[in-house]
Structure 1
């Protein structure tokens, strides 16, 4: 990436017009410096690690010359905290829900574009859940879970042979039925791009009843 400090000196000596314009639009704030190596569309999702740091802007809308480095700058990493820190029961999913979700998404991407590599994925919001079951007729307080599902909004980076890096956003949905019958259990997953979590939650409540039927195009 070259001598970053020397590059900053050059920028201060002769600030590019776009930096000057951004500073003017953010008096008293800051302007982020993003490493293009770690992103896809510059107008799309930018992982925190891709930000090298920020130029501090004075109240007059001009650069002060101060640059604050981002201590987390570097290759983006997976972030499943909003999934793994959840108090919701995920025993139906896997012993390691994060690994199960990542592996499933990686398979979907590779299935769509052979050779695709999932570089990193971040869960952006608290997931939405669906859990269904039946009550024990002899003990109404006891419920046996028979079906469950999860929808989580993500951002991810994928590379594939002959294609530039893409940073995608969407919702991954996983539904499973017959959880009370291990040998009869059936699972199905969906990867929907450019959709919101409210839409996906509504779809989850419908899709969970499709599990076990012939999959539709675009699902797995």
Structure 2
């Protein structure tokens, strides 16, 4: 901790030009200090845990000397709360929906680059869902689910042999059909990098009816 404090004192005594510029651009705000050890592209997605803290900026656009530490600073962790806490029925997905999504994404990346290891995944927005079915033969007020799908926007960090760490963003989509026919179920997954969730939701409406007619998992 002493070394960190000494470093901050040094920065205050002689602020680097980029810090001065950031402060001037954020009067009355703050400037975040990001640990490069936890990120890939510093201009891309930055997980909250990678932020060591913030320098407080005065109304005059100058550093006040106050540094507020981030209590959550440390190695980034998975965050699937927006998926698992949605209250939406995910029984078609798996007993552990977060693990199922993580394993699917990790599997796709490993197919693309052998030895790829996902360090963390964060679900960024509320997932989009689509469920189809037909009236239950014995009870018209009930529905027999025949197909289901979801699209989730994500950010993740991945490493692979001979490659630097990468931070990727996009949308993961999974569709399953034949849920009412044990032994005839078909699943398909897509990983659309840099895709927009609204676009993926539109695609989901078409993809949920294409499964069973096109082969294998897809990526783009």
Q: CA deviation at 1:138?
A: 4.3
Q: Secondary structure at the match of 2:141?
A: strand
Are 1:88 and 2:56 matched, yes or no?
no
Corresponding residue for 1:126? Answer: 126
Corresponding residue for 1:64? Answer: 64
Q: CA deviation at 1:213?
A: 2.3
Corresponding residue for 2:112? Answer: 112
Q: CA deviation at 1:210?
A: 1.5
Whole-Å Cα distance in 1 between the matches of residues 53 and 215 of structure 2? 46
Q: Considering only aligned residues, what root-mean-square deviation do their CA atoms show, in Å?
A: 1.6
TM-score by length of 1: 0.96
Whole-Å Cα distance in 2 between the matches of residues 59 and 179 of structure 1? 59
Q: Secondary structure at the match of 1:82?
A: helix
Whole-Å Cα distance in 2 between the matches of residues 144 and 90 of structure 1? 15
Corresponding residue for 2:12? Answer: 12
Corresponding residue for 2:174? Answer: 174
Whole-Å Cα distance in 1 between the matches of residues 78 and 55 of structure 2? 27
Whole-Å Cα distance in 1 between the matches of residues 95 and 192 of structure 2? 25
Corresponding residue for 2:155? Answer: 155
Whole-Å Cα distance in 1 between the matches of residues 214 and 206 of structure 2? 15
Gap runs ≥5 in structure 1 = none
Structure 2 contact 190–217 (Cα < 8 Å) conserved? no
Q: Which runs of 4+ in 1 moved over 2 A?
A: 136-139, 213-220
Q: CA deviation at 1:219?
A: 4.2
Q: Which piece of structure 1 moves more, 205-214 or 24-33?
A: 205-214
Corresponding residue for 2:139? Answer: 139
Cα deviation per residue 1:147-168 (whole Å; 9 max; x = unaligned)? 0000000000000011110000
- Count, aligned residues: 220
